[in-house]
Amino acid sequence: MKGYLHLQNGEVFTGKWLTSQPQTVISGEMVFFTGMTGYQEVLTDPSYKDQIVVFTYPLIGNYGINKSDFESIKPHVAGVIVHRGDMMHSHYDAEMSIVQYLNKWNVPMLGNVDTRAVVKRIRTKGSMPAYMNTTAEFNVSEQNFHADSPVPLVSQQQMEVHGDGNHHIVLMDFGFKKSILTYLLEKGCKVTVVPYNTTAAQVHALKPDGILLSNGPGDPVDMLPYIAEIQAIASSYPTMGICLGHQLISLAFGGKTKKLLFGHRGANQPVADIFNKSVFMTSQNHSYVVDEKSLEGTELQVRFKQVNDGSIEGVQHKTLPIITTQFHPEANPGPAESAVIFDEFLQKVKSSSGREKVYA
């Protein structure tokens, strides 16, 4: 059965349904991912909530779906666009095909699409609303595309405690990836995962040694009602922010954010560590960045920069033990060389252990 991808600018791309065809029009922001592998992690990363993802690599699904590489319990993408995604899969860990997995969760996948042409439109016109349906006749101007803040939809509602390590980390959940939690546990931490709207008083009652603000979907300014609490929390303990968490810490200490034309999504993004004079490859997934000019006069200083476009990839507080990364140091998918940032954060936690906390 033929399927159609309608972009907000009026362009239409034709393909065929590799999954069951949707019964309703599927809408979402159109973005693209450039990694050759890692589709399972992308599908289940909460940062992709309600987005239609175009995979630039032409063969998706060749190693199937396994039970260990999920970043959350279900896929969060609104839809998937591929050139080919229905080939036979082969891997000793595979339990099902990508088609079977997406059908299980009623997520549509459109194949035989000219993905190169779609990506070129996004790169020149920018990320934009898009629609997947079963008819070529579709008026995008009649669609009222509006997305509420997706963070409340992906953040867990209750506190959960994991592990029993020597250092207690509170992981603020804005849509965290499982691999972040896994890394902290492997480093011997006790981790308490708390909802996105947890207050400073509630965090203080947990008596943590450190704070990690997770990744998550959406526009960071949607979280402005919670910025005062985030500022109080980050000012009280050694703190690390990843992706959305990085943006929220920057907002909390006086910075501003802006949207990129088409964002960074892939597993081969080069980042320069300005302090250590080194460059490493990173995994990224974001549409928004911190405006460097907005940091002038604040207590934040730029620590990491994107090599290709010069955008900010992380900051560090001048006096407080706070470090952030726009990229994903836990990788999954992607290179793991930036995981040393976790070690740096945990060293700050250990150095502050036993000291009286600022917040009271």
In a domain, 147, yes or no: no
The per-residue pLDDT for 338 is: 84
Domain boundary at 134, 166, 189, which?
Answer: 134
Count Cβ atoms below 10 Å from residue 67 Cβ, excluding itself: 9
The per-residue pLDDT for 356 is: 45
What is the identity of the amino acid at 21?
Answer: Q
3-class SS of residue 257 = strand
Pair 31, 100 in one domain: yes
Among 187, 148, 155, residue whose Cα is nearest residue 171: 155
Pair 159, 298 in one domain: yes
Give pLDDT tens digits for 260-293: 999 999 988 999 999 999 999 999 999 999 999 9
What is the identity of the amino acid at 74?
Answer: K
The per-residue pLDDT for 336 is: 79
Domain boundary at 102, 134, 166, which?
Answer: 134
Report the alpha-carbon distance of residue 95 to residue 80 in Å, rounded.
Answer: 20
pTM for the model stands at 0.94
Give how far the C-alpha of residue 34 lies from the chain's centroid of Cα atoms, to the nearest Å. Answer: 14
| Residue 59 scores a pLDDT above 90 | yes
Pair 127, 226 in one domain: no
Number of domains in the chain: 2
The order of strands in the sheet holding 189-195 is: 160-162, 189-195, 167-173, 210-213, 239-242, 322-325, 312-317, 300-306, 257-273, 278-290
Give me the DSSP letters along 90-140: --TT--B-HHHHHHHTT--EEES--HHHHHHHHHHH-SEEEEEES-S---G
Query: Which residues does the annotation mark as catalytic?
Result: 243, 328, 330
Among 343, 344, 338, 340, residue whose Cα is nearest residue 326: 338
**What's the CATH number where 205 sits?**
3.40.50.880
Among 82, 72, 77, residue whose Cα is nearest residue 36: 82
Tokens of 101: 């997995």
Band of the pLDDT at 304, cuts 50, 70, 90? very high
3-class SS of residue 337 = helix
CB 308 within 8 A of CB 282: no
Pair 168, 270 in one domain: yes
Pair 127, 224 in one domain: no
Pair 55, 175 in one domain: no
Which domain does 32 fall in, by range? Answer: 2-134
Band of the pLDDT at 354, cuts 50, 70, 90? low
| Residue 300 scores a pLDDT above 70 | yes
Helices 227-234 and 244-252, packing angle to 10 deg:
90
Query: Which stretch of DSSP H or E encloses residue 349?
Result: helix 340-352
Tokens of 15: 């393909």
The per-residue pLDDT for 148 is: 80
Count Cβ atoms below 10 Å from residue 270 Cβ, excluding itself: 14
Give pLDDT tens digits for 92-115: 999 999 999 999 999 999 999 999
The per-residue pLDDT for 142 is: 85
Percent helix, strand and coil across the chain, each rounded to 5? 25, 30, 40
Pair 173, 320 in one domain: yes
Question: Strand ranges (DSSP E) for the chain?
Answer: 2-7, 12-17, 26-33, 51-55, 79-81, 109-111, 128-133, 160-162, 167-173, 189-195, 210-213, 239-242, 257-273, 278-290, 300-306, 312-317, 322-325
Band of the pLDDT at 360, cuts 50, 70, 90? very low
Mean pLDDT, the chain, as a whole number?
94
Tokens of 176: 């965290």
176 vs 358, which has greater pLDDT? 176
Pair 181, 124 in one domain: no
Report the alpha-carbon distance of residue 327 to residue 17 in Å, rounded.
Answer: 33
The whole-number average pLDDT for the span 176-205 is 97
| Residue 358 scores a pLDDT above 60 | no
**What's the CATH number where 101 sits?**
3.50.30.20
